[in-house]
Amino acid sequence: MAKRSLPGTALSVRRGRRCDVAQVAHVLGGDAAVRLERGLRRILADLGTDVYVAEDGAGTIVGIVAVAYARSLVRGGLQAMLDGARTRSRPAGPVLTGLVALAEERARRRGCRRLAAWVDAGEEDLRAALLARGYRPGELLVTDLVPGEA
């Protein structure tokens, strides 16, 4: 996907690249840099995951969205999971809405019939953006396989 404008914003969006690690870590915040250094290269090369970045006119990354894909035996076909969307922009709403719309479009183009979203507690902006786009609350049962990693 070539660089294009992110609807409703003055930003552009493109596929994530290896050279984006430091800026993506800044958007994610916290200890993301350590995780990214080890895993971003594999994530970006993985055909089962799409990562897109939103950047301003100066090339500074201000938002990201990641979608993971998996084949489903039970539901049939390819299923998509919004792994996350983050932004440093304020207000976050327009950027998150644009990133979610992009994720939906990309999942649809890959043949997915639904996109589920993983939204952790404290991600009110993302939850609001999803609900505004018509997402329905459902059941997602989760367990931590590694203690202390919520």
User: For the chain, which residues make up each domain, given as ranges?
Assistant: 4-132
pTM as predicted: 0.86
Angle subtended at Cα 110 by Cα 87 and Cα 60, rounded to the nearest 5 degrees: 25
| SS3 category, 139 | coil
Angle at 54 between CA 115 and CA 48, to 5 degrees: 40
* CB distance 96 to 88 below 8 Å: no
Task: Dump pLDDT digits (tens) for 31-74.
Answer: 666 667 677 778 877 888 999 999 999 999 999 999 999 998 88
Dist. CA 143–CA 4, nearest whole Å: 38
Specify the fold of 4-132.
Aminopeptidase (3.40.630)
- pLDDT, tens digit, 9 for 90 and up, residues 84-130: 899 987 777 889 999 999 999 999 999 998 899 988 888 889 999 99
CA proximity to 67, closest of 48, 53, 86, 54: 48
